[in-house]
Amino acid sequence: MLKVGVIGASGYSGEQLLKLLLAHPRVTLAAVTSRSQAGKPLSLVAPSLRGQDRGLTFVDSDASALAASDIDLFFLALPHGAAAEFAKVLVPAGKRVIDLSADFRIADLAVYEKYYGKHHAPELLPKARFVHPELTPPAWKTEAALIAAPGCYPTSVLTPLVPLVRAGNIISREHIVVNSYSGVSGAGKKAEEMYLYVERAESIKAYGLTKHRHLAEIEEQLSANAGGRCIVIQFNPHLAPMRRGIATTITVPAAPGATIDMLYAAWKSTYEGRPFVQVLPSGETPDTAHVTGTNRVDMSAVLDSRTGNFVITSVVDNLVKGASGQAVQIMNLWCGFEETVGLL
């Protein structure tokens, strides 16, 4: 049994992560920390865990004490900034660290600081790896000490697009338009008027147009997979009246001569045999409700002969494949477990 700890688990992703780890047959949840909730039983803060929490209590977040413990692997479910502070202590102590925040997702320090402000552990960036479990080549499993799990929007965008930019002859690198619609849990557990039930029910609303932070991560990954040629996308995020789920619709011109079969061939060669990426037939469209609670990306595409565009749609559960489930999948692969253990 692998001993794991979760640092900063009082938000929605943290709750989902605890749920997965408590039911995971190969791990022991040895410590759960939260500054604001220290001393409280898990199930008091996250009542969905009643009867399942093995009597665990939130403890205060003391990085040195955790570094000195016999815990093998830590998940950081903290805001950006705070995550780097913990990584700075845990990684040098030889712990494996999977970070769910943005702190180590972006290799280019200048880009990070433009979107997020000062970085608190830039010295760790060379040791960190951004790992999309189906896309990142497997060498990371032995090379890395610190894994950055992809964000929710980026997972919904990169999973369909990376195989296509890699192929080089399927899609245009220009005029890529991404519209994403996120359930409200994507905003975190924030007691703000904007996220009240009465405000968000029956409501769709764009936000963060032209400057959403996930842009940095999406474009860096796309560009890296395009042989370094810079890819700039239009990314339009929205809030939708759901608890969970992201629905992303991507419009991109087909490259000259590209066909829908070429697109599907690129997807199949990348995802064949990978249970957590489900490629639907062209003409069938994925549905956020079908992936709720699962670690899947469902996706499909059509070629619109009138416009010459591919229209690609993908869906994820933002708290599972978009956050905690993907982190568990990374742990499974990193620690030599079966990829799907503890996940749906």
Q: Does 19 bind a second copy (CB under 8 A)?
A: yes
Beta-carbon-side half-sphere exposure of residue 148 (alpha carbons within 13 Å): 24
Residue 152 falls in the annotated catalytic set: yes
Q: How far is CA 245 from CA 153, 191, 264, 291, 322, in A?
A: 10, 20, 24, 8, 9
Q: Does 50 bind a second copy (CB under 8 A)?
A: yes
Q: Smaller CB distance to a second copy: residue 65 or 229? A: 229
CA 213 to chain CA centroid, nearest Å = 13
- How would you classify the pairing of strands 309-316 and 297-304? antiparallel
Min separation Cβ 327 and a second copy, Å = 19
Burial of 237 (0-12, 13-18, 19+ CB in 10 A): buried
Q: Which 114-173 positions form the footprint of a second copy (CB under 8 A)? A: none
Among 13, 33, 185, 225, which residue interacts with a second copy (rule: CB under 8 A)? Answer: 185
- Which residues are paired to 2 by β-bridges? 27
Is 150 within 8 Å of 132 (Cβ atoms)?
yes
Q: Which residues contact 198 (CB under 8 A, 6 or more apart)?
A: none
Q: Which residues contact 284 (CB under 8 A, 6 or more apart)?
A: 300
Min separation Cβ 11 and a second copy, Å = 10
Among 59, 236, 264, 339, which residue interacts with a second copy (rule: CB under 8 A)? Answer: 236
Min separation Cβ 315 and a second copy, Å = 7
Describe the strand order of the beta sheet including 27-33 as a list of residue ranges: 27-33, 2-7, 73-76, 96-99, 146-148, 128-130
Tokens of 210: 């032209």
Distance between the two ends of the chain, CA-based, in angstroms?
20
Beta-carbon-side half-sphere exposure of residue 13 (alpha carbons within 13 Å): 29
Q: Which 243-282 positions form the footprint of a second copy (CB under 8 A)? A: 243-245, 247, 249, 251, 253, 275-276, 278
Q: What is the DSSP letter of 195?
A: G
Q: Which 290-309 positions form the footprint of a second copy (CB under 8 A)? A: 290-294, 296, 298, 302, 304-307, 309
CA 230 to chain CA centroid, nearest Å = 22
Q: Which 307-326 positions form the footprint of a second copy (CB under 8 A)? A: 307, 309, 311, 313, 315
Piece in contact with a second copy (CB under 8 A), picked from 102-110, 149-157, 190-198, 331-339? 190-198
Q: Does 55 bind a second copy (CB under 8 A)?
A: no
Among 177, 224, 226, 265, which residue interacts with a second copy (rule: CB under 8 A)? Answer: 177
Is 8 within 8 Å of 82 (Cβ atoms)?
yes
Q: Does 28 bind a second copy (CB under 8 A)?
A: no
Tell me the angle at which helices 12-22 and 325-334 cross, rounded to the nearest 10 degrees.
40
Q: Which 203-232 positions form the footprint of a second copy (CB under 8 A)? A: 203-207, 209-210, 232
Tell me the angle at which helices 109-116 and 214-225 cross, rounded to the nearest 10 degrees.
160
Among 25, 55, 227, 228, which residue interacts with a second copy (rule: CB under 8 A)? Answer: 25
Q: Smaller CB distance to a second copy: residue 69 or 251? A: 251
Min separation Cβ 243 and a second copy, Å = 5
Tokens of 218: 């999406």
Min separation Cβ 64 and a second copy, Å = 31
Min separation Cβ 98 and a second copy, Å = 23
Piece in contact with a second copy (CB under 8 A), picked from 75-83, 100-108, 118-126, 240-248? 240-248
Q: Does 183 bind a second copy (CB under 8 A)?
A: yes
Candidate list 7, 31, 147, 152, residue with the active-site label: 152
Min separation Cβ 191 and a second copy, Å = 5
Q: Does 337 bind a second copy (CB under 8 A)?
A: no
Piece in contact with a second copy (CB under 8 A), picked from 26-34, 57-65, 162-170, 236-244? 236-244
The catalytic site residues sit at: 152
